[in-house]
Structure 1
Amino acid sequence: MIVLGLTGSIGMGKSTVAAMFTARGIPVFDADAAVHRLQGKDGRLVSEIEALFPDTTGPQGVNRTALGEAVLGDDAQLKRLEALVHPAVAEEREAFLGQHEHAPLVLFDIPLLFETGGNTRVDKVAVVSAPPDVQRARVLARPGMTEARFAAILARQMPDAEKRARADFVIATDCSLDDTARAVDAVIACLIGPDSR
């Protein structure tokens, strides 16, 4: 099995690219989706998060806006949250690998792959990338996004140029979806051959 890590800064189109891998039959572990499950209604981290960060949860689980306000820009609080969340996500990832142990290729969709050292747990890395103006327009179009929030998120992420320099593959998303899909097909073909899916 080859484990491909997929990453990219906010607004680069990573979710779209991950969906393209899924559509081609590649099992995808979505770290963000795992976090949502763990923090959602009846999620197993909800009570622990409430204990660490009072008034950040409710009947539907973690209030991500309230939790974000509690930790964004506060390294000590962020580290407390990560110490709780990262091991739980790692358990989910191991379970995923067990479920797909016979797949020739699996994809780990991890936004902070380099920042958390996750690149050491994958065989190859693909970075999704677009120019800064495209990224900015996409992110600021999101509901509830502000310039300050965008800046705080970017400050936590490795610069796009550095990610591209460290990647085995770069998948551009400032082009047509067909062009991006062809790049995805090329990555799959390079790793396991064009007819291995």
Structure 2
Amino acid sequence: MLRVGLTGGIGSGKSEVARRLADRGAVVIDADRLAREVVEPGTSGLAEVVAEFGEGVLTPDGRLDRGRLGEIVFADAERLARLNAIVHPRVAERSAELMAAAPRDAVVVYDVPLLVENGLAGDYDVVVVVDAPDDVRIARVVTDRGMTEEQARARIRAQASRRERLARADVVVDNSGSLADLDARVAEVWARLAERAAHSSAR
């Protein structure tokens, strides 16, 4: 098994890369999806979030209001750290279960936005960073997610810098161009990962 940590800042196109790797046969573990699962209604995770941040972070039907919670935590590093302390251990436990269930010769891609911020690079055989300039990322977030430019910049400031991410990268996927360009780059990366996984399982 080859364990790959896939990361990239907001708007970098990390999810597009994860999707393309999954299409080629990777077992993708999506940390964002797990982070949503562990705070679904009825979970201990949601109960702890409400105890910490108050009933105001709930929608009328009792689900987590991610927009409201984001406004609170992304402007306050201390409150963001408290949220992470609730969510991250639960995500880590679930992702470990999924990784343990993967085939022995699999390329397991762990899609985790905060890999660098949480010092997780050493947990993986290969770290793949999806990269694009900040102005490109901001334009994507404003267009695709309906944020204002200032909201997008606040999210970027709350994450590791491009320089910090690139310093941890074993492989960099430049996603500053078109989706066709991205397809070609992902195909190259997949070939390298699959070859390395084959060598690892043959030992």
TM-score (norm 1): 0.90
Matches within 5 A, 1:1-197: 1-55=1-55, 56-58=57-59, 59-193=61-195
Structure 2 gap ranges (5+): 199-203
Residues in 2 aligned to 1:150 and 1:173: alpha-carbon distance in whole angstroms? 18
> Retained in 2: the 8 A contact 1:29–1:107?
yes
- Per-residue CA deviations over 1:17-62 (Å, capped at 9, x if unaligned) read 1000110110001000101111234444111111111121243521
Residues in 1 aligned to 2:197 and 2:87: alpha-carbon distance in whole angstroms? 37
SS of the residue aligned with 1:48? helix
> Retained in 1: the 8 A contact 2:106–2:197?
no
| Bigger helix fraction | 2
- Per-residue CA deviations over 1:44-88 (Å, capped at 9, x if unaligned) read 411111111112124352111121122222222222111111100
SS of the residue aligned with 1:34? helix
- Per-residue CA deviations over 1:144-182 (Å, capped at 9, x if unaligned) read 412332222111222223322331111122233233222
Cα RMSD after superposing both structures? 2.0
Q: Partner of 2:201 in structure 1?
A: none
Residues in 1 aligned to 2:133 and 2:153: alpha-carbon distance in whole angstroms? 16
> Retained in 1: the 8 A contact 2:138–2:149?
no
Residues in 2 aligned to 1:133 and 1:77: alpha-carbon distance in whole angstroms? 27
Residues in 2 aligned to 1:2 and 1:131: alpha-carbon distance in whole angstroms? 29
> Retained in 2: the 8 A contact 1:188–1:194?
no
Structure 1 gap ranges (5+): none
Q: Which amino acid aligns with 2:183?
A: A
Residues in 2 aligned to 1:159 and 1:75: alpha-carbon distance in whole angstroms? 15
Give the number of aligned pairs: 196
In the TM superposition, structure 1's runs of 4+ consecutive aligned residues that sit over 6 Å from their partners are none
Counting aligned pairs with the same residue, the percent is 38
> Retained in 2: the 8 A contact 1:10–1:154?
yes
> Retained in 1: the 8 A contact 2:121–2:168?
no
